[in-house]
Chains A and B, each alone.
Chain A
Protein backbone atom coordinates (compact mmCIF):
# COMPACT_ATOMS: atom_id res chain seq x y z
CA UNK A 1 0.00 0.00 0.00
CA UNK A 2 2.46 2.69 1.08
CA UNK A 3 5.26 3.43 -1.35
CA UNK A 4 9.04 3.59 -0.99
CA UNK A 5 8.78 4.73 2.62
CA UNK A 6 8.47 1.16 3.82
CA UNK A 7 11.99 0.21 2.68
CA UNK A 8 13.76 -1.92 5.24
CA UNK A 9 16.55 0.60 5.89
CA UNK A 10 14.29 3.39 7.19
CA UNK A 11 14.63 3.73 10.94
CA UNK A 12 11.29 5.17 11.89
CA UNK A 13 11.90 5.51 15.60
CA UNK A 14 15.43 6.84 15.82
CA UNK A 15 14.48 10.50 15.78
CA UNK A 16 13.95 13.15 13.17
CA UNK A 17 10.88 11.44 11.79
CA UNK A 18 7.24 12.01 12.54
CA UNK A 19 5.50 8.86 13.85
CA UNK A 20 3.89 6.90 11.01
CA UNK A 21 5.37 9.55 8.71
CA UNK A 22 2.30 11.76 9.04
CA UNK A 23 1.68 15.17 10.45
CA UNK A 24 0.72 15.24 14.14
CA UNK A 25 -2.61 16.95 13.51
CA UNK A 26 -3.68 14.38 10.94
CA UNK A 27 -2.81 11.48 13.24
CA UNK A 28 -4.73 13.06 16.10
CA UNK A 29 -7.71 13.70 13.84
CA UNK A 30 -7.73 9.98 12.99
CA UNK A 31 -7.73 9.06 16.66
CA UNK A 32 -10.46 11.56 17.45
CA UNK A 33 -12.51 10.01 14.65
CA UNK A 34 -11.91 6.58 16.21
CA UNK A 35 -13.31 7.81 19.52
CA UNK A 36 -16.28 9.34 17.73
CA UNK A 37 -16.79 6.07 15.86
CA UNK A 38 -17.09 4.25 19.16
CA UNK A 39 -19.49 6.88 20.49
CA UNK A 40 -21.79 6.58 17.48
CA UNK A 41 -21.33 2.83 17.57
CA UNK A 42 -22.42 2.73 21.20
CA UNK A 43 -25.54 4.78 20.43
CA UNK A 44 -26.47 2.66 17.43
CA UNK A 45 -25.84 -0.60 19.24
CA UNK A 46 -27.91 0.50 22.22
CA UNK A 47 -30.67 1.34 19.72
CA UNK A 48 -30.33 -2.17 18.33
CA UNK A 49 -30.49 -3.67 21.81
CA UNK A 50 -33.70 -1.87 22.73
CA UNK A 51 -35.23 -2.61 19.35
CA UNK A 52 -34.43 -6.30 19.72
CA UNK A 53 -35.91 -6.28 23.21
CA UNK A 54 -39.30 -5.07 21.97
CA UNK A 55 -42.04 -7.32 20.69
CA UNK A 56 -43.22 -4.62 18.30
CA UNK A 57 -41.16 -2.01 16.48
CA UNK A 58 -42.46 0.49 13.89
CA UNK A 59 -41.90 -0.40 10.24
CA UNK A 60 -39.59 2.31 8.80
CA UNK A 61 -41.32 2.06 5.42
CA UNK A 62 -44.54 3.23 7.08
CA UNK A 63 -42.99 5.95 9.21
CA UNK A 64 -40.59 7.44 6.66
CA UNK A 65 -42.59 7.51 3.46
CA UNK A 66 -42.99 11.24 2.90
CA UNK A 67 -41.31 13.51 0.39
CA UNK A 68 -41.32 17.29 0.41
CA UNK A 69 -43.98 18.80 -1.88
CA UNK A 70 -45.42 15.36 -2.61
CA UNK A 71 -48.33 15.68 -0.21
CA UNK A 72 -49.51 12.31 1.07
CA UNK A 73 -47.80 10.22 -1.61
CA UNK A 74 -46.46 6.92 -0.27
CA UNK A 75 -42.75 7.07 -1.14
CA UNK A 76 -40.75 4.91 1.27
CA UNK A 77 -36.97 5.36 1.18
CA UNK A 78 -37.21 8.17 -1.39
CA UNK A 79 -36.33 11.17 0.74
CA UNK A 80 -33.61 9.40 2.69
CA UNK A 81 -32.06 8.26 -0.60
CA UNK A 82 -31.86 11.88 -1.67
CA UNK A 83 -30.18 12.76 1.63
CA UNK A 84 -27.70 9.92 1.22
CA UNK A 85 -26.74 10.98 -2.30
CA UNK A 86 -26.38 14.60 -1.22
CA UNK A 87 -23.90 13.55 1.44
CA UNK A 88 -22.00 11.19 -0.87
CA UNK A 89 -21.66 13.93 -3.49
CA UNK A 90 -20.48 16.43 -0.88
CA UNK A 91 -17.89 13.87 0.20
CA UNK A 92 -16.68 13.62 -3.40
CA UNK A 93 -16.41 17.39 -3.71
CA UNK A 94 -14.41 17.37 -0.46
CA UNK A 95 -12.02 14.78 -1.91
CA UNK A 96 -11.57 17.06 -4.91
CA UNK A 97 -10.94 20.05 -2.63
CA UNK A 98 -8.23 18.14 -0.74
CA UNK A 99 -6.76 17.01 -4.04
CA UNK A 100 -6.65 20.61 -5.26
CA UNK A 101 -4.88 21.44 -2.00
CA UNK A 102 -2.21 18.85 -2.73
CA UNK A 103 -1.54 20.62 -6.01
CA UNK A 104 -1.56 24.02 -4.26
CA UNK A 105 -4.41 25.02 -6.59
CA UNK A 106 -6.08 27.78 -4.57
CA UNK A 107 -8.97 28.39 -6.97
CA UNK A 108 -9.70 24.67 -7.13
CA UNK A 109 -9.79 24.43 -3.35
CA UNK A 110 -12.19 27.38 -3.13
CA UNK A 111 -14.49 26.00 -5.82
CA UNK A 112 -14.75 22.51 -4.34
CA UNK A 113 -15.08 23.75 -0.76
CA UNK A 114 -18.01 25.95 -1.81
CA UNK A 115 -19.76 22.90 -3.29
CA UNK A 116 -19.04 20.89 -0.15
CA UNK A 117 -20.56 23.58 2.07
CA UNK A 118 -23.63 23.74 -0.18
CA UNK A 119 -24.00 19.96 0.09
CA UNK A 120 -23.78 20.10 3.87
CA UNK A 121 -26.39 22.84 4.12
CA UNK A 122 -28.66 20.92 1.74
CA UNK A 123 -28.39 17.81 3.93
CA UNK A 124 -29.18 19.79 7.09
CA UNK A 125 -32.20 21.34 5.39
CA UNK A 126 -33.47 17.89 4.43
CA UNK A 127 -32.99 16.60 7.95
CA UNK A 128 -34.84 19.63 9.34
CA UNK A 129 -37.77 18.92 7.01
CA UNK A 130 -37.81 15.26 8.06
CA UNK A 131 -37.87 16.18 11.74
CA UNK A 132 -40.54 18.83 11.31
CA UNK A 133 -42.68 16.44 9.27
CA UNK A 134 -42.47 13.75 11.94
CA UNK A 135 -43.01 16.03 14.93
CA UNK A 136 -45.93 17.98 13.48
CA UNK A 137 -47.53 15.03 11.71
CA UNK A 138 -50.93 14.04 13.07
CA UNK A 139 -51.87 10.41 13.35
CA UNK A 140 -54.98 9.13 15.01
CA UNK A 141 -54.29 6.49 17.62
CA UNK A 142 -56.39 4.86 20.25
CA UNK A 143 -55.19 5.92 23.69
CA UNK A 144 -57.22 4.80 26.71
CA UNK A 145 -60.19 4.12 24.48
CA UNK A 146 -60.13 7.59 22.91
CA UNK A 147 -59.02 8.53 19.44
CA UNK A 148 -56.22 11.09 19.84
CA UNK A 149 -54.04 12.81 17.27
CA UNK A 150 -50.35 12.63 18.06
CA UNK A 151 -47.10 13.26 16.21
CA UNK A 152 -43.79 11.43 16.60
CA UNK A 153 -41.77 12.94 19.43
CA UNK A 154 -39.50 11.71 22.17
CA UNK A 155 -42.51 11.06 24.41
CA UNK A 156 -45.12 9.95 21.89
CA UNK A 157 -45.13 7.33 19.20
CA UNK A 158 -48.21 6.85 17.00
CA UNK A 159 -46.66 3.93 15.13
CA UNK A 160 -47.86 0.98 17.13
CA UNK A 161 -49.69 -2.25 16.46
CA UNK A 162 -53.20 -2.04 15.10
CA UNK A 163 -55.99 -1.95 17.63
CA UNK A 164 -58.58 -4.72 17.67
CA UNK A 165 -60.96 -4.04 14.80
CA UNK A 166 -63.91 -4.45 17.10
CA UNK A 167 -62.84 -1.52 19.24
CA UNK A 168 -63.48 1.11 16.63
CA UNK A 169 -66.29 0.22 14.24
CA UNK A 170 -64.07 -2.03 12.14
CA UNK A 171 -61.73 0.76 10.98
CA UNK A 172 -58.03 0.12 11.09
CA UNK A 173 -56.80 2.15 14.00
CA UNK A 174 -53.35 2.11 15.54
CA UNK A 175 -52.27 2.15 19.14
CA UNK A 176 -49.19 3.95 20.43
CA UNK A 177 -45.90 2.26 19.68
CA UNK A 178 -42.74 1.92 21.78
CA UNK A 179 -41.77 5.35 23.08
CA UNK A 180 -38.06 4.59 22.67
CA UNK A 181 -38.47 4.99 18.91
CA UNK A 182 -38.59 8.77 19.02
CA UNK A 183 -35.83 9.11 21.57
CA UNK A 184 -33.46 7.02 19.54
CA UNK A 185 -34.40 8.43 16.16
CA UNK A 186 -34.18 12.09 17.14
CA UNK A 187 -31.25 11.50 19.48
CA UNK A 188 -29.05 9.69 17.00
CA UNK A 189 -29.98 11.65 13.86
CA UNK A 190 -29.67 14.79 15.99
CA UNK A 191 -26.21 13.86 17.20
CA UNK A 192 -25.25 13.11 13.60
CA UNK A 193 -26.86 16.34 12.42
CA UNK A 194 -24.86 18.20 15.04
CA UNK A 195 -21.71 16.71 13.54
CA UNK A 196 -22.85 17.78 10.07
CA UNK A 197 -23.49 21.29 11.37
CA UNK A 198 -20.09 21.56 13.02
CA UNK A 199 -18.57 20.12 9.85
CA UNK A 200 -20.28 22.79 7.75
CA UNK A 201 -18.99 25.48 10.13
CA UNK A 202 -15.47 24.07 9.94
CA UNK A 203 -15.71 23.88 6.14
CA UNK A 204 -16.84 27.51 5.96
CA UNK A 205 -13.87 28.52 8.11
CA UNK A 206 -11.57 26.51 5.82
CA UNK A 207 -13.13 28.23 2.81
CA UNK A 208 -12.56 31.67 4.27
CA UNK A 209 -8.98 30.80 5.17
CA UNK A 210 -8.37 29.54 1.65
CA UNK A 211 -9.84 32.70 0.12
CA UNK A 212 -7.72 34.89 2.40
CA UNK A 213 -4.58 33.08 1.28
CA UNK A 214 -3.73 31.63 4.71
CA UNK A 215 -2.82 28.27 3.22
CA UNK A 216 -0.97 29.89 0.36
CA UNK A 217 1.25 31.65 2.88
CA UNK A 218 1.78 28.49 4.94
CA UNK A 219 2.80 26.62 1.82
CA UNK A 220 0.47 23.70 2.41
CA UNK A 221 -3.21 22.86 2.61
CA UNK A 222 -2.95 20.29 5.42
CA UNK A 223 -5.84 21.83 7.33
CA UNK A 224 -8.16 21.19 4.41
CA UNK A 225 -7.08 17.56 4.52
CA UNK A 226 -7.90 17.28 8.21
CA UNK A 227 -11.26 18.97 7.73
CA UNK A 228 -11.76 16.50 4.89
CA UNK A 229 -11.19 13.55 7.23
CA UNK A 230 -13.87 14.90 9.56
CA UNK A 231 -16.30 15.43 6.70
CA UNK A 232 -15.82 11.92 5.33
CA UNK A 233 -16.37 10.55 8.81
CA UNK A 234 -19.69 12.40 8.96
CA UNK A 235 -20.67 10.79 5.64
CA UNK A 236 -19.58 7.39 6.90
CA UNK A 237 -21.67 7.67 10.06
CA UNK A 238 -24.68 8.58 7.92
CA UNK A 239 -24.18 5.36 5.93
CA UNK A 240 -24.68 3.42 9.15
CA UNK A 241 -27.43 5.61 10.64
CA UNK A 242 -29.34 5.28 7.38
CA UNK A 243 -28.71 1.54 7.44
CA UNK A 244 -29.96 1.03 11.00
CA UNK A 245 -33.02 3.28 10.95
CA UNK A 246 -34.31 3.01 7.41
CA UNK A 247 -33.05 -0.19 5.81
CA UNK A 248 -32.86 -3.01 8.34
Chain B
Protein backbone atom coordinates (compact mmCIF):
# COMPACT_ATOMS: atom_id res chain seq x y z
CA UNK B 1 0.00 0.00 0.00
CA UNK B 2 1.88 3.05 1.19
CA UNK B 3 5.25 1.49 2.00
CA UNK B 4 6.57 2.06 -1.47
CA UNK B 5 10.09 3.05 -0.53
CA UNK B 6 11.02 1.09 2.59
CA UNK B 7 11.45 -2.65 2.37
CA UNK B 8 12.40 -2.85 6.05
CA UNK B 9 8.80 -2.37 7.09
CA UNK B 10 6.43 -5.07 5.95
CA UNK B 11 3.54 -4.23 8.24
CA UNK B 12 0.32 -3.12 6.58
CA UNK B 13 -2.49 -1.50 8.44
CA UNK B 14 -6.16 -2.23 8.01
CA UNK B 15 -6.53 -3.78 4.56
CA UNK B 16 -10.33 -3.54 4.39
CA UNK B 17 -11.14 0.17 4.21
CA UNK B 18 -14.82 -0.01 5.00
CA UNK B 19 -14.55 -2.54 7.82
CA UNK B 20 -12.26 -0.08 9.49
CA UNK B 21 -14.75 2.77 9.08
CA UNK B 22 -17.37 0.60 10.77
CA UNK B 23 -14.92 -0.05 13.60
CA UNK B 24 -14.33 3.68 13.96
CA UNK B 25 -18.05 4.40 14.13
CA UNK B 26 -18.58 1.66 16.71
CA UNK B 27 -15.70 2.91 18.82
CA UNK B 28 -16.91 6.51 18.60
CA UNK B 29 -20.36 5.50 19.79
CA UNK B 30 -18.81 3.46 22.60
CA UNK B 31 -16.64 6.39 23.73
CA UNK B 32 -19.62 8.73 23.63
CA UNK B 33 -21.79 6.34 25.62
CA UNK B 34 -19.08 5.86 28.24
CA UNK B 35 -18.66 9.63 28.50
CA UNK B 36 -22.40 10.12 28.90
CA UNK B 37 -22.50 7.49 31.66
CA UNK B 38 -19.62 9.21 33.44
CA UNK B 39 -21.36 12.58 33.19
CA UNK B 40 -24.61 11.01 34.35
CA UNK B 41 -22.94 9.57 37.42
CA UNK B 42 -21.21 12.89 38.09
CA UNK B 43 -24.49 14.78 37.88
CA UNK B 44 -26.24 12.18 40.02
CA UNK B 45 -23.65 12.65 42.75
CA UNK B 46 -24.37 16.37 42.57
CA UNK B 47 -28.14 16.23 42.39
CA UNK B 48 -29.07 13.42 44.76
CA UNK B 49 -28.09 13.01 48.41
CA UNK B 50 -25.76 10.03 48.85
CA UNK B 51 -23.64 8.45 51.54
CA UNK B 52 -19.98 9.36 51.24
CA UNK B 53 -18.90 5.76 50.83
CA UNK B 54 -21.37 5.29 47.97
CA UNK B 55 -20.03 8.43 46.31
CA UNK B 56 -16.55 7.00 46.65
CA UNK B 57 -17.73 3.79 45.00
CA UNK B 58 -19.25 5.79 42.12
CA UNK B 59 -16.02 7.73 41.74
CA UNK B 60 -14.21 4.40 41.47
CA UNK B 61 -16.63 3.34 38.73
CA UNK B 62 -16.01 6.61 36.87
CA UNK B 63 -12.24 6.07 37.07
CA UNK B 64 -12.59 2.59 35.63
CA UNK B 65 -14.79 3.93 32.82
CA UNK B 66 -12.09 6.49 32.01
CA UNK B 67 -9.50 3.73 31.88
CA UNK B 68 -11.78 1.90 29.45
CA UNK B 69 -11.88 5.04 27.28
CA UNK B 70 -8.09 5.15 27.37
CA UNK B 71 -7.96 1.50 26.29
CA UNK B 72 -10.14 2.18 23.26
CA UNK B 73 -8.45 5.42 22.23
CA UNK B 74 -4.98 3.87 22.47
CA UNK B 75 -5.91 0.47 21.09
CA UNK B 76 -8.08 1.48 18.14
CA UNK B 77 -7.66 5.16 17.30
CA UNK B 78 -3.90 5.05 17.82
CA UNK B 79 -3.70 1.56 16.29
CA UNK B 80 -1.57 0.22 19.14
CA UNK B 81 -3.74 -2.89 19.13
CA UNK B 82 -2.57 -3.63 15.58
CA UNK B 83 1.12 -3.45 16.38
CA UNK B 84 3.49 -6.26 17.29
CA UNK B 85 2.93 -7.63 20.76
CA UNK B 86 6.39 -6.65 21.98
CA UNK B 87 5.83 -3.04 20.95
CA UNK B 88 2.54 -3.02 22.82
CA UNK B 89 4.38 -4.33 25.87
CA UNK B 90 7.11 -1.66 25.76
CA UNK B 91 4.30 0.88 26.04
CA UNK B 92 1.97 -0.82 28.51
CA UNK B 93 4.39 -2.42 30.96
CA UNK B 94 6.05 0.83 32.14
CA UNK B 95 2.61 2.39 32.59
CA UNK B 96 1.94 -0.19 35.31
CA UNK B 97 4.21 2.01 37.43
CA UNK B 98 1.23 4.37 37.68
CA UNK B 99 -0.52 1.93 39.99
CA UNK B 100 2.20 2.39 42.61
CA UNK B 101 2.59 6.08 41.74
CA UNK B 102 -1.04 6.96 42.35
CA UNK B 103 -1.49 4.80 45.44
CA UNK B 104 1.73 5.92 47.11
CA UNK B 105 1.22 9.63 46.59
CA UNK B 106 -2.44 9.74 47.51
CA UNK B 107 -1.62 7.83 50.69
CA UNK B 108 1.16 10.35 51.33
CA UNK B 109 -1.23 13.27 50.93
CA UNK B 110 -3.72 11.65 53.24
CA UNK B 111 -1.02 11.04 55.81
CA UNK B 112 0.03 14.71 55.69
CA UNK B 113 -3.54 15.73 56.40
CA UNK B 114 -3.77 13.38 59.34
CA UNK B 115 -0.43 14.49 60.72
CA UNK B 116 -1.33 18.16 60.41
CA UNK B 117 -4.71 17.64 62.02
CA UNK B 118 -3.36 15.64 64.94
CA UNK B 119 -0.53 18.09 65.50
CA UNK B 120 -2.97 20.97 65.62
CA UNK B 121 -4.80 19.33 68.46
CA UNK B 122 -1.74 18.82 70.67
CA UNK B 123 -0.64 21.52 73.08
CA UNK B 124 3.11 21.30 72.54
CA UNK B 125 4.34 24.72 71.35
CA UNK B 126 6.69 24.54 68.38
CA UNK B 127 9.49 26.64 69.98
CA UNK B 128 10.22 23.97 72.55
CA UNK B 129 11.05 21.28 70.04
CA UNK B 130 14.52 20.55 68.66
CA UNK B 131 16.57 23.48 67.34
CA UNK B 132 16.12 22.31 63.77
CA UNK B 133 12.36 22.98 63.94
CA UNK B 134 10.76 25.58 61.66
CA UNK B 135 10.02 29.02 63.15
CA UNK B 136 6.70 29.25 64.92
CA UNK B 137 5.24 31.76 62.44
CA UNK B 138 5.21 29.10 59.72
CA UNK B 139 3.04 26.81 61.79
CA UNK B 140 -0.61 27.79 61.63
CA UNK B 141 -3.24 25.23 62.39
Are B78 and A52 in touch, CB under 8 angstroms?
Answer: no
Among candidates A54, A88, A219, residue contacting B32 with C-beta atoms closer than 8 Å: A88
Task: Evaluate whether A21 and B11 lie within 8 angstroms (CB atoms) in the complex, with A45-B105, A81-B39, A88-B31 already known.
Answer: yes
Asked if B42 and A77 sit within 8 Å, CB to CB, the answer is yes
Q: Is B102 an interface residue (CB 8 A)?
A: yes
Q: Do A21 and B84 touch (CB < 8 A)? A: yes
Bound-complex Cα distance A192 to B13 (A) = 30
Q: Is A34's CB within 8 Å of the partner chain B? A: yes
Contact A49-B2, Cβ < 8 Å, known A16-B8, A61-B46, A88-B35: no
Assess the B109–A50 pair: CB atoms within 8 A.
yes
Query: Does A76 belong to the interface (CB within 8 Å)?
Result: yes
Interface residues as binary, B1-30 with A (CB distance below 8 Å gives 1, 0 otherwise): 111111111111110010011001000100
Q: Which residues of B contact A76 (CB under 8 A)?
A: 43, 46
Stretch at the interface among A101-109, A136-144, A193-201, A203-211: A101-109
- A56, chain B: closest CB distance, angstroms: 11
Q: Is A37 an interface residue (CB 8 A)?
A: yes
Q: By the criterion CB–CB under 8 Å, are A1 and B81 in contact?
A: yes
Beta-carbon contact of B6 and A18 below 8 Å: yes
Decide: B109 and A220 in contact? CB cutoff 8 A.
Answer: no
Task: Bin the interface of chain B by size.
Answer: 35 or more
Q: Is B50 an interface residue (CB 8 A)?
A: no
A129 CB–B CB distance under 8 Å: no
* A7–B70 CA distance with the chains assembled, in angstroms: 29
Contact A5 B28 (CB under 8 A): no
What mask results when residues 68 to 105 of chain A are scored 1 for a CB within 8 Å of chain B, else 0? Answer: 00000000110001001100100110111001011110
> Using a Cβ cutoff of 8 Å, how many contacts connect chains A and B?
161
Chain A: residues with Cβ within 8 Å of the partner, total of 62
| A166 at interface, CB cutoff 8 A | no
In the complex the two chains form, is B110's CB within 8 Å of A52's CB?
Answer: yes
Within 8 A of A (CB), among B96-122: 98, 101-102, 105-106, 108-110, 112-113, 116-117
How far, in Å, is A152 (CB) from chain B's closest CB? Answer: 19
Interface membership of B63, Cβ < 8 A: yes
Query: In the complex the two chains form, what is the Cα distance from A96 to B25 in whole Å?
Result: 10
- Is there an interface contact between B8 and A5, defined as CB atoms closer than 8 Å? no
Distance A22 CA – B8 CA, assembled complex (angstroms): 9
B126 at the interface (CB under 8 A from A): no
- Tell me, yes or no, whether A236 is within 8 Å of chain B by CB: yes
Instruction: List, in ascending order, chain B residues with CB within 8 A of A1's CB.
Output: 81-83, 85, 88
- In the complex, the chain A residue whose C-beta lies closest to that of B73 is A236
With beta carbons under 8 angstroms apart, the residue of A34, A45, A235 that contacts B101 is A45
Contact of A5 among B17, B84, B98, B101 (CB under 8 A): B84
The 5 lowest CB-CB distance pairs between A and B, nearest first, are A52-B109, A49-B109, A220-B2, A53-B112, A20-B87
Binding site for B on A (CB under 8 A): 1-3, 5-6, 16-18, 20-23, 27, 30, 34, 37, 41-42, 45-46, 48-55, 61, 76-77, 81, 84-85, 88, 91-92, 94-96, 99, 101-104, 218-222, 228-229, 232-233, 235-236, 239-240, 243, 246-248
Extra 8 A-B pairs, beta carbons < 8 Å, given A102-B14, A239-B69 = A2-B85, A6-B85, A76-B43, A99-B20, A99-B21, A103-B1, A220-B3, A247-B42
> What are 11 of the A-B contact pairs (CB < 8 Å)?
A18-B8, A30-B80, A34-B94, A45-B105, A46-B105, A49-B106, A54-B113, A103-B1, A104-B1, A247-B38, A247-B62
